Amino acid sequence: MSEGIGQLLRAKKESMARKLFISCPFINRDVKEVLADVKNRIEEGPTVGTLLFDSKGLHIQDSETFPDDNVASEIHEYENNLKEALLNNFYFDEIVEMIKELDVDTKNKGFKEVKEEFYGRIELDHVLDRLNDLL
């Protein structure tokens, strides 16, 4: 459970989640004791949600809302990294074809400039559709 708490604390600190939940099994402890343990480890601020389970079933406590100022930038960074990784599955001539389809200006530009404009224009859904066409 301590690793899960560490992940929640990082998400809280980075303001990159609207709601935070920890999910774990527990045995030989009362559910109220486990909830108190979670609450004590997450100091001040909104209440963390829990999805706990034991031999008696599932115990759910909703999460309060946390500040999520960085969610949009984190999602954008994740999508860019995913897009870059997925584009590595294409041959160079396929990339050139996509650059032409998106009407990326390549005149008097270096590779880095073309790549940045291409990555800025191509949508993740388009990359996924192209990969799906290959399958």
Residue keyed to tokens 């291409």: 118
**CA geometry: angle at 104 spanning 101 and 106, to 5°?**
125
The pLDDT tens digits along the chain (135 residues) read 677 778 888 888 888 888 888 888 888 888 888 888 888 877 777 888 888 888 888 989 898 888 888 888 888 888 989 999 999 999 999 999 999 999 999 999 999 999 999 999 999 999 999 999 887
**Does the reported pTM lie above 0.75?**
no
Beta strands in 47-117 (DSSP E): 49-54, 57-61
**DSSP-derived pairing of the beta strands 49-54 and 21-25:** parallel
Q: Rounded CA gap, 17 and 31, in Å?
A: 25
